[in-house]
């Protein structure tokens, strides 16, 4: 999930009786599965929650270019290099698409990016982990994009029309990335040297738990989720999505011939699901607060890019203005 902890501002979900007529009409529309569109009336809380969530999602796409960009100059073959470039390009495109969806809610892209750079807006915790070997490119595709897809497939039914349509479009590309990522790992496990196989297992050991954290806190620790679910921004709870992800991913892990760094992971015949160990929530909240391995580096890189690019953007604006004046004079 690329937006794992979104404030809704609501401590408790209002019942229909407590709502104003407008709110009630809105909620009834939501309950009837009618999509909300930019010009429709919506509660301020709904608007703000969506701006937070979609901007977090967009920021995640942009910051998410960095751990992969870290290896694009070192990709080991022409084929892998081309795949990685195509993927990074897609991510920039997803970022743009999501910022556009966010702007339909009256938010401003530059302002939201400024909030990110000031540490006031979040992005997915996963991108604060370093990419330390080439197999990380496979593991990020498989686990991180895999987790994102589980979440985004559900978000295709989210109640806000522009967000839902963005998810439909983005999911197609993400699924492709995920298969490519898995293929990187599979090829290394099947045809690689012992050193390469070790790289794969090492990548999984480091990224397994951070990928599970992408779904956010436990449901009972997630008060914002209830309002998001009532508004049908969220369609499934964090724990439900996490379980779905585990259930679909463990067989893929076994097929690779690798293991998860979780001694408690095992199939539960009774529930029909995999049981798994407890996430290190201290680490999760530390990373969200800015104290993960790469939080500083990621934000500094993005800040620097935008700050050092200011003169370029100013030049583009000045040139466009001159061209307009010339056209008017001609």
Partner 1 sequence: MNQKEALTEYLLRLADSDMILGQRLCELCGKAPALEEEMALMNVALDLVGQARNWYEYASDLIDDGRDADKLAYRRDAHDYRNLLLTEQPNEDYAVTMGRQFFFDVWHYFTLKSLVNASDERVAGIAAKALKEVTYHLRRSSEWVKRLGDGTEESHRRMQDAVDILWRFTGELITPDETDQLMAQAGIGPDPEQLKEDWRGLVKEVLQEATLTPQPDDAWMYMGGKHGEHTEHLGFILAEMQFLQRAYPDATTW
Residues forming the site for partner 1 (CB under 8 A): 62, 65-66, 68-69, 72-82, 85-86, 88-89, 92-93, 95-96, 99, 134, 184, 187-188, 190-193, 195-196, 301-302, 304-306, 308-316, 318-319, 322
The minimum distance between CB 202 and partner 1, in angstroms, equals 14
The minimum distance between CB 179 and partner 1, in angstroms, equals 17
Please say whether the beta carbons of 61 and 94 come within 8 A: yes
Compare residues 14 and 109 and give the one whose CB is closer to partner 1: 109
3-state secondary structure of 268: strand
Task: Compute the distance between CA of residue 39 and CA of residue 151 in angstroms, rounded to an integer.
Answer: 26
Compare residues 221 and 314 and give the one whose CB is closer to partner 1: 314
The minimum distance between CB 61 and partner 1, in angstroms, equals 9
Compare residues 78 and 328 and give the one whose CB is closer to partner 1: 78
The minimum distance between CB 295 and partner 1, in angstroms, equals 15
**Encoded tokens for 61:** 């796409």
Report the DSSP beta bridge partners of residue 36: 160
Compare residues 116 and 233 and give the one whose CB is closer to partner 1: 116
Burial class, 61, CB count within 10 angstroms (exposed 0-12 / middle 13-18 / buried 19+): buried
Compare residues 79 and 120 and give the one whose CB is closer to partner 1: 79
Q: Which of 123, 125, 127 is nearest to 112 (CA)?
A: 123
3-state secondary structure of 267: strand
Q: Distance from first CA to last CA of the chain, Å, rounded?
A: 52
Task: Compute the distance between CA of residue 320 and CA of residue 330 in angstroms, rounded to an integer.
Answer: 15
The minimum distance between CB 299 and partner 1, in angstroms, equals 12
């Amino acid at each position: 999930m690329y937006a794992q902890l979104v404030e809704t501002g609501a401590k408790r979900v209002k019942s229909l009786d407590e709502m104003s007529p407008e709110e009630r009409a809105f909620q009834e529309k939501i309950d009837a599965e009618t999509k909300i569109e930019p010009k429709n009336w919506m509660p301020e809380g709904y608007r703000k929650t969506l701006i937070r969530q979609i901007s977090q999602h967009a920021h995640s796409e942009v910051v998410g270019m960095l751990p992969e960009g870290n290896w694009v100059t070192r990709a080991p073959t022409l084929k892998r290099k081309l795949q990685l470039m195509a993927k990074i390009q897609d991510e920039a495109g997803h970022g743009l698409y999501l910022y556009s969806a966010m702007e339909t809610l009256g938010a401003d892209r530059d302002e939201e990016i400024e909030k990110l750079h000031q540490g006031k807006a979040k992005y997915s915790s996963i991108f604060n982990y370093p990419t330390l070997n080439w197999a990380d490119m496979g593991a990020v595709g498989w686990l991180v994009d895999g987790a994102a897809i589980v979440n985004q497939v559900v978000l295709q039914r989210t109640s806000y029309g522009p967000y839902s349509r963005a998810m439909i479009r983005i999911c197609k590309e993400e699924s492709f990335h995920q298969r490519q990522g898995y293929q990187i790992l599979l090829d290394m496990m099947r045809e690689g040297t012992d050193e390469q196989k070790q790289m794969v297992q090492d990548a999984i050991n480091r990224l397994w738990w951070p990928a599970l954290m992408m779904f956010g806190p436990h449901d009972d620790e997630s008060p914002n989720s209830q309002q998001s679910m009532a508004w049908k921004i969220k369609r499934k709870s964090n724990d439900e999505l996490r379980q779905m992800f585990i259930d679909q991913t463990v067989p893929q892990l076994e097929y690779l011939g690798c293991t998860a760094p979780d001694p408690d992971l095992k199939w539960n015949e009774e529930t029909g699901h995999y049981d798994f160990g407890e996430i290190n929530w201290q680490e999760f909240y530390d990373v969200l607060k800015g104290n993960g391995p790469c939080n500083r580096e990621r934000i500094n890189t993005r800040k620097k890019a935008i700050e050092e690019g200011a003169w370029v953007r100013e030049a583009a604006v000045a040139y466009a203005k001159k061209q307009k004046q010339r056209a008017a004079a001609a």
